Amino acid sequence: MPSRLSPLASLITPLAAMALVGGVFLLAAYLLGRFPAYRPFRRACLGFAGQSGFACVATILTFMVPLLNQQPYVTVLNEAWLALSAALTAWLLWGAHGRQESAGLLLLLVPTALLLIVTAWPTLPAPPPLIEVAAAWAALGTVYVLPCWFLWRRYLSRSVVTRRPSTFTLKKALLIMAGYATCTALLCAALFWQGRHPVSLLAATVWAGAYYAGITLLVVGGCTLRALHRRGCFQRWLSKEQQQQLG
């Protein structure tokens, strides 16, 4: 009997604590909704209650499936509930009104995203040697420049309209492409001189591709946010709460 009660007690204690915290924040969200002066903090309470709910589900899964208590499954489970918590907070932020409501959700979203990154970072494989990453980076950059120039000319430049003409011309794109190609040839020659096999560049290509994918997302996201800001789509996040009809 004690051997069965001990695991059950170890489950009930954190589960009850997280359920209590989630219930308190749900009650707080309900009460804050009844008072207009404190209504901007209701969504932040809902986000915190959602995080507590996801943590409860993860705890129950670790008890029901003992395999989830072992690595790497426990790390994947932690990443999953943190990712769901960040997604819920981002969804609540998308519908936020006013500075106080937006700031409260950002104060919840940023630590959750940082904790997710810190949790997921040790699970990533070790990076390959720097010279292989550099060769893969230069090779991908050679074929990345022209599509990037075309995307900038046809779509992104319209989001960032300035009086000055764009300096990212086709001539400059071709020069950058030639520079990447030269670096690729030199680095591949150095790898051949060291006797490295071309198959070893596959892992480095993944790391270099992740770099270019991140840069592309940042540029596209920045231009999109700028275009939305010019259209007034962020006014509900930046305007004063007294001017909003919060439901």
Residues 11 and 106 in one domain: yes
pTM, two decimal places? 0.62
List the structure tokens of 86: 């960040």
| Cα 2 → chain centroid | 44
Q: Which of 95, 123, 151 is the last residue of a domain?
A: 123
pLDDT given at position 100: 78
List the structure tokens of 51: 């995080």
pLDDT given at position 40: 78
Cα–Cα distance measured from residue 134 to residue 204, given in angstroms and rounded to the nearest whole number: 8
Domain range for 160 is 130-237
Tell which residue, 204, 216, 200, has the closest CA to residue 139. Answer: 204
Q: For every residue of 90-127, which 3-state class applies, written as one string?
A: HHHHHCCCHHHHHHHHHHHHHHHHHHHHHHHHHHCCCC
Give the pLDDT band of residue 189 (cuts 50, 70, 90): confident
pLDDT given at position 42: 84
> How many domains would you assign to the chain?
2
pLDDT in tens, 119-143: 877 777 777 778 888 888 888 888 8
pLDDT given at position 27: 85
Residues 31 and 87 in one domain: yes
